Each structure stands twice: as structure tokens, then as C-alpha cells.
Amino acid sequence: MAGAQEAPVSEEIIWKPSAEYIADSNVGRFMKKHGIADFEELRSRSMDIEWFWDACIEDIGVDWYRPYDTLLDASKGFEWARWFVGGKINIVHNCIDRHVKAGLGDRIAVRWEADDKEVRTLTYAELDAEVCRLANAMRASGVGKGDFCGIFMPMVPEVAVAFFACMKIGAVAIPVFSAFGAPALASRLGDAEAKLLFTADGGYRRAKVNPIKESADRAVADVPSIEKVVVLKRTGMDVPMTDGRDVYWHDFVEGQPSTCPTEEMEAEDTALVIYTSGTTGQPKGTVHTHAGAMVQMAKELYYAFDLRPDTDVFFWVTDIGWMMGPWQMIGVQFFGGTHMLFEGTPNHPNEDRLWEVVARHGVTTLGISPTAIRLLMTYDEALLDGHDMSKLRLLGSTGEPWDPASYRWYFEKVGSGRIPIMNISGGTEIVGCLLSPYPATPLKPCSLAGPALGMDVDIFDEDGNSLLKGEGATGIGHLVCKKPGPSMTKGFLNDSQRYLDTYFSRFPGVWFHGDWVERDEEGFWFIRGRSDDTMKVAGKRIGPAEIEAALIEHDAVTEAAAVGVPDDVKGQVVVCFAVLVPGREPSEELRRELSDQVATIISKALRPKIVHFVDALPKTRSAKIVRGVIKRKYLGEEVGDVASVENPAALDGIANPK
């Protein structure tokens, strides 16, 4: 595998922290505290996971009802590792209760901007009061510890209230994208045997009303376990209400007191279940605990994103149904910081809407997907100049591989070339990172720098051999993790065998993550796509991200997807789909230019068989291009579950490209 493809030209380092910058960072202070000379020494030492997680918990200040007796119990194997055994804790105690008690009640916890630019805030005291009222109402309706509760709502402040109210009483939150259809919602609620559903009459997107309650009703009709549906009046539209089951939010909480005891939970008790957006079969419910999820999220916000709770406004363009929503809320509020919720879209009603939001709210950390940046790049760069974004001090990204041109635009135009991009990679099943830069690490375009602290990752070849043995070793292969992490899913809800098959059947005793990664000669790591997206053309392996990046370098292309399709001679050939910038028209000449560009940048042997033109690529709500769906649609196969695809109409273009 290693060396099977022609290596791309190594990019230069474009950002390097000064000694002063490192010393002033949270991770720099952690290194000084433990007498660690540089970040590589810290990264190496953090592979002693018991030392690291003990030290991390002490440093970030986790508040326990009862401290744990045993940090890690792996007596039943990596697959079923238990963390913080004997400890009692609650996410809500750490994220709300203790901050109010410490006198931070007047600090803003949540800033919100609506689709129509309405702005609301919730202080920690206000959030606490609303969470308590809702938690009391839930208890009064018979919901309690261990019960599952769905959250199918637009991105409004009440999303945070519902999320934390569930965990406050020991119930399990199931956040679901509000754009999902009824079958997708029903499958998730039914799998969990959910007892209660939070929803809304509707929501707003691009100034249009989305009838959310309509989908909720159709879903609940197929989920007999649902006893109560709590409906937020977001739009004021008339919706049917089922007597005895449905209740408006304001009526549900009426008369409830603004104080409520927080349930003391075991460290390993389930706090939330997040369903992956799998492209085939039943969605997988990843199971996350009060201690494990919170500690991982807090570690990343503090060390990788250098969170300063007194001054930062943290904003990830996300939804509650994507793991970055819970990740942001728990991670920021653990430290008593302020985060943004955004109901709108980055380019509505004006193309510079996102930059307007960043400037208006004094955002200090902005996280966004590469796909969204590629969209915003198509607009006039002068739109950036009209907004003061000088308070930005860190950028973030995740979800998919970058191409160098888009990464540089984000770095140079949005960050003015002065601040680093924390390009992180992990997944819903970890609610955290396997690879991550830090303020103490230099950066190359598109790089993830290296292994995240406390996560013992490696690159394996097809036979399970490490490609990174020896100093300066390089390699491209499968991303794996050799030791457990505290936030790794506790199996899949109701499907333990599928969990074992997914992560541990490829390399027994080792977590197989499914990403195709590379480490270059200078030690920088890069995501090259999903392993199952990897193409093997005439014996040469390559991930789709490199081919897509080569296409996007052409000034006519704004987005691209590459898939491998069967070929009798080469085994597979590369087929590409390109979205053109406004004003450019498909032509045979352009098709040849793009194919030649891939051959020049990567390899003649990997020249696409054909480049198709489409109006849009099918993507999830979190902006991931669904290459597996694209491939199956192109080949005329059953596409599988497409509930996570935000724009399913784009599949028609894949079946009938230009």
C-alpha cells in the first residue's frame, strides 16, 4: 500500500506558532505544569493514556459528586472498556449548575441568531431556570432516569434547554436533524423506544416555513412508545394537536418552579445517543456517557481550541443533529463560556450573511465545513472587507477532506493569514477527535497535524502492520486507534454485533476507523477520504480527496466528487462529477482540460475515464458529499438510506449527468 501511488508535492508550512504564542495557550500551560519541553514530547507522553486522562481531568477541573475509583477497566477488552469506574457525575452539573453557584449567572451562555436576523441570548441563570422548569415538567409527566427523549427542533435557544433538561434528570437525549423526513425520524425514535419527543410547529429556512410538526406526527404514528409530544410555537402556524399526547411547550412548563435537583449519575450512564447518517441499512445509534463524552469534548475545546471562557464567543456552523452541536454546547459550557446557535444559512438573505454574523457577535472562534467555504469562495471577495472580523483568533473545520485552494482561501481571506485552522477529524462514534492540530503545532495546508492528545492512533496497511515504524516513517493507509478513549461509543444501541463488526472485525483488538490517511516525510497527517471510497486503479490506490482537489484547482470548478467504478481491464476507473462556477458552461473542451489537469497534478495512470457535469452534488446537512450514494446511483444500484441527504434531487443529476 505505501508507495503504491505517486506522492503529491509536499506543501510548505504556512503557519508556525511563536514561543510566546505557545506559552500563552492552554496546552502550553499544561506542558509547563508537567515539565514537558515541547508538543511532540507531550503527544508522545499522552499515549500513556492513564497518565494523560488523569492529568487532563485534574487540569480542566471536572467536578464529581463522587470521584472515580478506577480510571480505566479494560478487563473485558478494548471493545467494552469502562471509564471512571465508581465515579458519580452529571453533565448538567458541570455545564450549568456549578457556574451559577460560582456567581457566573449573568454571563451569556447562548447567543442565537435567527433566519430573519432576530437575536436572543440566554445567560447561565436564565438557561438554568428554563432547564429546571422543563426538567420539572418532564418529571411530572413521568419521564425520568434512563428514558429516551427525541429532540426534533430547529436551531433555536430552546434546543439547548431541551438538551440539558434531558440530561439533568438522567434521561437520554436523542438529537435529530429537523430537516429529516418522517421515516428517518421514526426509525431513530423507534430504535430507542423513545418516550417523549420535543418538536416545533415549524421552523424557518431561507425565509420559508418548514412544517416540522407534520413530519413529527407521521413519525410518531409509527412509534408506539411515544407518550408525550412537546411542541414549541416557533412560527405560530396552526398544527394538529393530539389530545392527551401533544402539548405546547409553554403549557407544559407553566407553573413549574425554576429550581430542580440534578440527578447524580454513574460515570458510565448514558447521556445521549447520536445516530450516524449511514448510507445503507438501519442508522447506527452511538451511545455516549456523562463522563466520557464530556471529558473528551472539554479536552478538545480547552487544548485544541484554546477556549478562554471569559472572552470567547465560539461559533460552529452546525445543527443539533450533527455531533458538532452537542460537542459545542457541552464543551464550551463546561468552562462557563459563550457559544452561538444559528438558525440561518451562510448566504441568506445576502451572500455575506456569515461574515455579518461573525462581526455582529464578536465571534472569536469560527468552525465550518470545507464544502461551505467552497460555496462562499464563489462570491466576491470584497464582501469580506465590509465586516470587522478582527476578534477572530482561531478557525476550525471538520467533516471532510480539504483541497489546498479552499483551505488557503479560508486561512488567508477569512483569517487574514494570522490565525491557525484547527482542522480536526474524528466522528460521531467518538464525539471527538482522533487527529487534531493544537496552538502549539505548525500547519501545512489541509493538514490535521497529528494524533489528538490521549488517542493512540496509527496507520495500518492491509495486513494490519504499522506503516509508521522508525523515525520519520511515512505512509498512507487505514487510520486505527490502538487503545480505548473515554468517549468511544458503548456499542451501538440494540446492536452490539454490528458495533463489533464495524470497528473490530478488520483488525481484532484495534479500532478500525474507516478513514484513509497519510503522514508525510515531515510528520504532518492528512485525511484522504473514507477507506471504502478509496479507489484502486491498475494497482494504484488513491483517495477521492486528492482527485477532487486537482479538479477544484481549475478556475471553472467550485465542487467535485470522484468515485471508482468497475472496469474489466484496470479493476476500477475514476469517474468524476464537477459543479461549475456560475457563468461557465459544460463543454467537451472543458471536460478534456479537467481530465488533463488530474493527469498532470496526480498521475497519468489516474486520469479520470470521464468528467461529468452536474448542477449540485448530493450532501448531508453537515455538508459531507455522499460518495457511496453517488457511486450506487451512477451504477444504477439501490442507493440505500438517503434520509441524511439534504438535497436528494441532486441524485437525478448523477443518474443523468451533462
State the pLDDT confidence band at 532, using cuts at 50, 70 and 90: confident
Q: What is the pLDDT of residues 141-162, one digit of tens each?
A: 999 999 999 999 999 999 999 9
Q: If pLDDT is split at 50, 70 and 90, which confidence band does 606 have?
A: confident
DSSP character at residue 443: B
Contacts 24+ apart (CB under 8 A), 502-511: 502/284, 503/79, 503/429, 504/78, 504/79, 506/464, 506/478, 507/460, 507/464, 507/478, 507/480, 509/77, 509/78, 510/78, 510/460, 510/464, 510/480, 510/481, 510/482, 511/78, 511/480, 511/481, 511/482, 511/484
Output the pLDDT for position 534.
74
Instruction: Give residue 6's pLDDT band: very low, low, confident or very high (50, 70, 90).
Output: very low
* Digit-coded pLDDT (tens) for 355-385: 999 999 999 999 999 889 988 999 999 999 9
What pLDDT does residue 259 have?
98
Is it the case that residue 2 has pLDDT exceeding 70? no
| pLDDT of 474 | 86
| Domains defined along the chain, listed by start | 534-655 (3.30.300.30)
Residues 621-637 pLDDT 10s: 667 788 889 999 999 99
Q: What is the per-residue pLDDT across 292-339, written as a single tens digit (0 to 9) for each?
A: 999 999 999 999 999 999 999 999 999 999 999 999 999 999 999 999
The mean pLDDT value for 462-466 works out to 94
Q: Check pLDDT > 90 for residue 422.
A: yes
In Å, how far are 64, 132, 153, 249, 361 from 253, measured between CA atoms? 29, 9, 17, 6, 30
pLDDT, mean of residues 587-615: 91
- What confidence score (pLDDT) does residue 277 get? 61
Phi, psi angles (nearest 5°) of residue 587:
-160, 160
Q: How far is CA 613 from CA 583, 588, 617, in A?
A: 14, 10, 10
Chain mean pLDDT for the chain: 93
Q: What percent of the chain has pLDDT over 70?
A: 97
Residue range 262-287, pLDDT digits in tens: 999 999 999 999 998 644 457 899 99
Q: Lowest-pLDDT range, 132-146, 150-164, 397-411?
A: 397-411
SS3 348: coil
Confidence of residue 55 (pLDDT cuts 50, 70, 90): very high
Give the pLDDT of residue 568: 76
The yes-or-no verdict on residue 657 having pLDDT over 70 is: yes
Q: Give pLDDT, residue 3.
A: 29
Compute the average pLDDT of residues 6-24.
Answer: 81
**Mean pLDDT of the region 209-224:** 96
pLDDT of residue 7 exceeding 70, the answer is no
- pLDDT at residue 5 tops 70: no
Dump pLDDT digits (tens) for 474-486.
888 999 999 999 9
